[in-house]
Chain A
Amino acid sequence: MIKSALMALLLAGASIVGQAAERGADPLDSPRWSDMRKEMFPAAAKVVFDERVKVTAPLTAENAMNVPVSVDAGALQGVREVLVFADFNPIVRIVRFEPKGAQPSLGFRIKLQQSTPVRAAVRTSDGSWHVGGTWVNTAGGGCTLPSTGSASPEWQKRLGEVSSRVWARKEGGERIRLRIIHPIDTGLAAGIPAFFLQDLDLTDDKGKALMHIEGFEPIAENPVFTVDVPVARASAGYRVSGRDNNGNAISAVIDK
């Protein structure tokens, strides 16, 4: 009798959990999700978890100063903007980008302070947000360490220097990879103010927009970005321009 009552209780419990999952419980089961929901999106916004938003990062990251992440929202139509954030990072926002002609995907590297979900929220033309993500386990500490650059005068001479290359892709279209010399300090290491890339605009050789990237403090030092351009927007050359939070300009021609 007692056993069956217990069983009934257990079953009831299981069905409540099941219902929560159907209503859209966080697939990454993060205790910070409800805060993220409130902080990142307007209350009235439609926010759904969507497996079509692919976030690729190593499950275990030994070097918390340089964790590789790729976001791909190519399975969704009408992508307007993508916001990448990490629930447990002291600075949650990592990067925001608007694919204005480039593929809705971006490769980059980040600093993490501890193990955390890394998520991408994709706003599509109907105004709804599609959220995908993955857990990254790390010993952390990446956000409160000074950059290597901050200890060396070398970067000052090369600040904002861009190296880049363009590849033809087997899938069609082109790939642009670029690296920018910048120490990127989070402001969380004692005595070193925040110093990071704020805006980057990637255009074709006529100046027509391909992608706008808004950076935040947790992007890794000397950031490397991977951007794919569809066949229709492939160009004889590309340009990148932007600035950091101290107003230093970045400007370079990306030759083929």
Chain B
Amino acid sequence: MNALPRSARALIALFALGWTLLLAAADRDYGLSPVRIADDTWALVGRSEDFSVANGGNIVNTAFIVTRDGVVVIDSGPSRVYGEQLKRAIARVTDKPVSLVVNTHHHPDHFLGNQAFAPETLAALPATIKGIHSEGGSFNENMYRLAGDWMAGTEPVAPTRQLAAGPLVMGDHRLELIALDGHTEADLVILDRSTGVLFAGDLVFNGRTPTTPHADLSHWQAALDRLEKTPFTILVPGHGPVAADAGPIRQTRAWLTWLDRHLRQAAEDGLDMTEVLALPLPAEFRGLAVVNAEYRRSVGQLYPAYEQRALSGERRKP
């Protein structure tokens, strides 16, 4: 061994460490089983939970469309291991190669599986790509903390291909890319006009409380108005079960509308943040998954802005 220069030994050590990390993740199995939801179309529905070591971050929905010219993947999941297992799950359904991987927005559970796919297939809206560049590193670190070993070997990879709103023909599927925002700065919705499936990303949650770390509630509500006017047959939300009607759109809007009014009223009433956290939730929302934790997070994320408006006298009409 001494014959090897120090740099070579360091490289070998690094290589060994890399493999150890990958092997640690290798025995992790998300048990991904694609469910056929329409012609050529499969969805993988995650758990309606918070990120945890138990679920490995698989709280998200991903999906894919098998077109004549290759497979379109919608979101790549929360980790490298997820991305690799998603790729294998696709290969069990079709022998067509993956030709496009779309990240609907820049949250970690929607793009940290990108490593598993060829870089030139990765695509997203420009602001999503920018968000992955600026926040991907800290999201990834945070996911290691929340999901542990499942994240082994995961690094953020930003798409280079920029998408724009408008039609996109992929083989025999006529897709419509709808560029919206409100959940984050850029939320891409994909409507497959050939099947009527609407992939709504995190603009729509179903049975699970929406998350708001980058939310603009009024933009989000406007985006939901637009989606409700969009004709579809099947709705794939970002989180929660696939639906055949606009129920999840209305449910997401009901929560956001309530949250907006509730926080504005609390700020107008002069409540301290700890008092806002202690307020009871309306009965209609108590059945939503992780509602208490998401309410607490949303208060922390959003209340300071409402408070500031109330204090500076920039008061909006209720």
Q: Which positions in A face B, CB cutoff 8 Å?
A: 56-58, 60-63, 66, 68-70, 107, 109, 139, 163-165, 167, 175, 177-179, 224, 226
Contact present for B307 and A224 (CB under 8 Å): yes
Question: Given known contacts A63-B301, A66-B304, A107-B272, is B311 in contact with A177 (CB within 8 Å)?
Answer: yes
- Complex Cα–Cα for A177 and B268 (A): 11
Q: Is B95 an interface residue (CB 8 A)?
A: no
Contact present for B275 and A70 (CB under 8 Å): yes
- Complex Cα–Cα for A179 and B269 (A): 16
- Complex Cα–Cα for A224 and B310 (A): 12
A69: B residues at CB distance < 8 A: 274
Q: Which of B59-67, B161-169, B229-237, B292-300 contacts A (4 or more CB under 8 A)?
A: B292-300
Q: Is B278 an interface residue (CB 8 A)?
A: yes
Smallest beta-carbon distance B219→chain A, Å: 22
- Complex Cα–Cα for A226 and B269 (A): 12
Q: Is B160 an interface residue (CB 8 A)?
A: no
B297: A residues at CB distance < 8 A: 62
- Complex Cα–Cα for A178 and B275 (A): 16
Contact present for A165 and B274 (CB under 8 Å): no
| Binding site secondary structure of chain A | strand
Smallest beta-carbon distance A103→chain B, Å: 13
Residue from the set A57, A63, A224 with the largest chain B CB neighbour count within 10 Å: A224
A61: B residues at CB distance < 8 A: 300
Chain B residue with the shortest CB-CB distance to A178: B311
Contact present for B277 and A163 (CB under 8 Å): no
Contact present for B277 and A68 (CB under 8 Å): yes
Q: What is the interface size of chain B, counting residues whose CB is below 8 A from a CB of the partner?
A: 22
Question: Given known contacts A60-B293, A109-B273, is B310 in contact with A165 (CB within 8 Å)?
Answer: yes
Q: Is B68 an interface residue (CB 8 A)?
A: no
Q: Is B145 an interface residue (CB 8 A)?
A: yes
- Complex Cα–Cα for A109 and B269 (A): 19
Smallest beta-carbon distance B127→chain A, Å: 20
A109: B residues at CB distance < 8 A: 273
Q: Is B308 an interface residue (CB 8 A)?
A: yes
Q: Which positions in B face A, CB cutoff 8 Å?
A: 142, 145, 269-270, 272-275, 277-278, 293, 296-297, 300-301, 304, 307-308, 310-313
Contact present for A164 and B272 (CB under 8 Å): no
Contact present for A107 and B273 (CB under 8 Å): yes
B300: A residues at CB distance < 8 A: 58, 61-63, 66, 68
A175: B residues at CB distance < 8 A: 270
- Complex Cα–Cα for A62 and B295 (A): 12
Q: How many A-B residue pairs have CB under 8 A?
A: 59
Smallest beta-carbon distance A226→chain B, Å: 4
B304: A residues at CB distance < 8 A: 66, 224
Question: Given known contacts A61-B300, A62-B297, A66-B304, is B274 in contact with A56 (CB within 8 Å)?
Answer: yes
Contact present for B277 and A58 (CB under 8 Å): yes
- Complex Cα–Cα for A8 and B30 (A): 49
Chain A residue with the shortest CB-CB distance to B301: A63
Contact present for A68 and B293 (CB under 8 Å): no
A224: B residues at CB distance < 8 A: 273, 304, 307, 311
Q: Among the listed B269, B274, B312, which residue makes an inter-chain contact with A70, where contact means beta carbons less than 8 Å apart? A: B274
Contact present for B278 and A177 (CB under 8 Å): no
B274: A residues at CB distance < 8 A: 56-58, 68-70, 107
Residue from the set B270, B296, B313 with the largest chain A CB neighbour count within 10 Å: B270
Chain B residue with the shortest CB-CB distance to A162: B311
A163: B residues at CB distance < 8 A: 308, 311-313
Chain B residue with the shortest CB-CB distance to A139: B145
A179: B residues at CB distance < 8 A: 307-308, 311
- Complex Cα–Cα for A179 and B306 (A): 13
Contact present for A167 and B272 (CB under 8 Å): no
Chain A residue with the shortest CB-CB distance to B307: A224
- Besides A70-B272, A70-B275, A109-B273, 19 more A-B contacts (Cβ < 8 Å) are A56-B274, A57-B274, A58-B296, A60-B293, A63-B300, A63-B301, A66-B304, A68-B274, A139-B145, A165-B310, A165-B311, A165-B313, A167-B269, A177-B311, A179-B308, A224-B273, A224-B304, A224-B311, A226-B270
B308: A residues at CB distance < 8 A: 163, 179
Going nearest first, the 7 A-B pairs with the smallest beta carbon separation are: A107-B272, A68-B273, A167-B270, A70-B274, A226-B272, A163-B311, A163-B312
- Complex Cα–Cα for A175 and B301 (A): 24
Contact present for B296 and A177 (CB under 8 Å): no
- Complex Cα–Cα for A164 and B310 (A): 9
Chain B residue with the shortest CB-CB distance to A167: B270
Contact present for B278 and A56 (CB under 8 Å): yes
Smallest beta-carbon distance A126→chain B, Å: 29
Question: Given known contacts A63-B300, A177-B270, is B145 in contact with A164 (CB within 8 Å)?
Answer: no
A164: B residues at CB distance < 8 A: 311
A226: B residues at CB distance < 8 A: 270, 272
